[in-house]
């Protein structure tokens, strides 16, 4: 039982947390709104905001907002000079970006690598870019940490990549390695789980408590879910492998060697083949899907939509979400025939669960995993604002 008692310090931390989280999610909020949402007293909010200002995590913006009669309320914002560094490791590239606590992607750079990336090379590549970024930062910037989105199963407890089939990694202690190379606190998680969190915090599932998220790229289908406001993690952090759910007795295998799974039935490569692409960006593929007249292609698209719809119906039965968010080329499938996908989903789902569920495309595009990975260090920061461990660009710890 993880039932911890609460003392006064915990209360203060909790209240600071919820204020800071709100600033983080919405960028800036008026004080009166803070009192309304939190249910705390005006004077308490005032005190909390002051403390966050002293911690240099928030500041009052001049632009007061008049919402009708009465004295206008001050706007409070998260600062822009507290940042997280996001890393996304992929088969052929590593992307490194900087995200501000106020919820903006400040920079993003995709570093191409050739051949299968070894963990060592990936870390070296990312660490070098991080060092460069830090050398260019102003001295008043403070870094909350590094968040890494990994296309595979991550043991969150010790930062070990348990298995990343597409990268060919097994039991790689990526967290400790990156921490060693950068001197920064490092957090990692599965890419799709982080994508889910990003869409919930900043994208098309904002403010929702129950979300199912599916992301399909060249490496297969990943999934994530928000359950009652919390990210689905499971006992060891491996939960949410929605692409590896078996929905058919077929023999086609997915990237993990399982047959009949959603991932084996909804394959980007199959679409590339039929359009005779060697490789293509999502935008090209999307354009082709939107304009194709080929009967063969339409047949394949319909088959994929049917399989996806079946998978979604299962997830709806299991999670009863408010919204299903699709990302990657799944959005192209959805746009190709929205009605078909929705119908397939409804056919397989029990009445009550699907009644209100809607399907949406992801909003965050190529920033998705920059936002997502940044949520890991920011989450740590937000959960204990007054004990946060921040680092200056030059490497000194800063309070």
Residues that bind DNA (CB under 7 A): 5-9, 11-12, 15, 30-32, 35, 39-48, 64, 66-74
Helix (H, G, I), strand (E, B) or coil at 184: coil
Distance between start and end Cα atoms, the chain: 33
Count the helix, strand and coil residues of the chain and give each as a percent rounded to the nearest 5. 45, 25, 30
Q: How far apart are CA 342 and CA 42, in angstroms?
A: 46
Q: Which two tokens stand for residue 335?
A: 């746009």
Of the candidates 17, 384, 375, the one whose C-alpha atom is nearest the C-alpha of residue 197 is 375
Is residue 81 part of the contact set for a second copy (CB under 8 A)?
Answer: no
Of the candidates 154, 132, 131, 134, the one whose C-alpha atom is nearest the C-alpha of residue 143 is 134
Is 68 or 351 the residue whose CB approaches DNA more closely?
68
Q: How far apart are CA 209 and CA 14, in angstroms?
A: 19
**Count of residues that bind a second copy according to CB under 8 A:** 68
Element (H, E) at 347: helix 338-348
Tell me the closest approach of the beta carbon of residue 231 to a second copy, in angstroms: 9
Is residue 245 part of the contact set for a second copy (CB under 8 A)?
Answer: yes
Of the candidates 369, 361, 314, the one whose C-alpha atom is nearest the C-alpha of residue 334 is 361
Q: Give the one entry of DNA, a second copy, none that residue 111 binds, where binding means its C-beta sits below a cut-off of 5 to 8 angstroms depending on kind.
A: none
Is residue 1 part of the contact set for a second copy (CB under 8 A)?
Answer: yes
Is residue 343 part of the contact set for a second copy (CB under 8 A)?
Answer: no
Q: Give the one entry of a second copy, DNA, none that residue 118 binds, where binding means its C-beta sits below a cut-off of 5 to 8 angstroms depending on kind.
A: none
Is residue 282 part of the contact set for a second copy (CB under 8 A)?
Answer: no
Q: Give the one entry of DNA, a second copy, none that residue 66 binds, where binding means its C-beta sits below a cut-off of 5 to 8 angstroms depending on kind.
A: DNA
Sign of CA dihedral 339, 342, 347, 353: negative
DSSP one-letter code for 367: G
Is residue 31 part of the contact set for a second copy (CB under 8 A)?
Answer: no
**Rule CB under 8 A: which of 153-182 touch a second copy?**
153, 155, 162-163
CB 378 within 8 A of CB 101: yes
CB 215 within 8 A of CB 149: no
Please identify which residue in 32, 38, 73, 302 interacts with a second copy, judged by CB under 8 A: 38
Q: Give the one entry of DNA, a second copy, none that residue 86 binds, where binding means its C-beta sits below a cut-off of 5 to 8 angstroms depending on kind.
A: none
Is 62 or 171 the residue whose CB approaches DNA more closely?
62
Is 119 or 393 the residue whose CB approaches a second copy more closely?
119
Tell me the closest approach of the beta carbon of residue 78 to DNA, in angstroms: 16
Q: How far is CA 297 from the centre of its chain?
A: 31
Is residue 319 part of the contact set for a second copy (CB under 8 A)?
Answer: yes
The answer for residues whose C-beta is within 8 angstroms of residue 240's C-beta and 6 or more apart is 190, 192, 193, 196, 222, 223, 224, 225, 232, 233, 234
Please give the residue ranges that form the binding site for a second copy (CB under 8 A): 1-8, 10-11, 14-15, 18, 21-22, 25, 37-40, 44, 153, 155, 162-163, 207, 209-210, 227-230, 232-242, 244-249, 256, 258, 310, 313-314, 317-322, 348, 350-353, 355-357
């Amino acid at each position: 039982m993880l039932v911890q008692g609460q003392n006064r310090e915990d209360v203060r931390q909790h209240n600071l947390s919820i204020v800071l989280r709100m600033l983080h999610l919405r960028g800036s909020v008026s004080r009166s709104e803070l009192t309304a949402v939190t249910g705390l007293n005006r004077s308490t909010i005032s005190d909390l905001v002051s403390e966050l200002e002293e911690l240099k995590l928030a500041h009052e913006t001049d632009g007061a907002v008049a919402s009708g009669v009465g004295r206008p309320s001050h706007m409070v914002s998260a600062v822009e000079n507290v940042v997280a560094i996001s890393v996304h490791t992929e088969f052929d590239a590593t992307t490194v970006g900087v995200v501000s606590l106020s919820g903006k992607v400040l920079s993003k750079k995709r570093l191409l690598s050739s051949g299968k990336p070894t963990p060592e090379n990936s870390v070296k590549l990312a660490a070098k870019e991080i060092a460069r970024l830090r050398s260019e930062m102003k001295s008043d910037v403070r870094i909350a940490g590094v968040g890494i989105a990994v296309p595979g199963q991550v043991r969150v407890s010790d930062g070990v990549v348990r298995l990343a089939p597409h990268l060919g990694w097994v039991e790689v202690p990526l967290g400790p390695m990156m921490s060693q190379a950068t001197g920064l606190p490092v957090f990692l998680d599965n890419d799709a789980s982080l994508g889910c969190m990003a869409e919930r915090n900043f994208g098309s599932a904002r403010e929702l408590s129950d979300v199912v998220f599916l992301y399909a790229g060249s490496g297969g289908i990943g999934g994530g879910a928000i359950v009652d406001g919390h990210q689905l993690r499971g006992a060891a952090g491996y939960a949410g492998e929605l692409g590896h759910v078996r929905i058919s007795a077929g023999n086609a295998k997915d990237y993990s060697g399982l047959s009949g799974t959603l991932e084996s039935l909804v394959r980007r490569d199959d679409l590339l083949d039929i359009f005779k692409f060697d490789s293509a960006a999502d935008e090209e593929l999307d354009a082709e899907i939107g304009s194709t007249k080929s009967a063969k292609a339409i047949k394949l698209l319909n088959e994929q939509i049917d399989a996806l719809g079946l998978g979604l119906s299962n997830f709806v039965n299991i999670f009863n979400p408010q919204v299903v968010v699709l990302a990657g080329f799944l959005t192209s499938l959805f746009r190709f025939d929205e009605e078909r996908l929705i119908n397939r989903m409804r056919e397989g789902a029990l009445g009550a669960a699907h009644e209100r569920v809607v399907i949406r495309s992801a909003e965050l595009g190529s920033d998705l995993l920059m936002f997502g990975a940044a949520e890991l260090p920011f989450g740590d920061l937000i959960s204990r604002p007054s004990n946060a461990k921040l680092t200056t660009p030059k490497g000194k710890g800063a309070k």
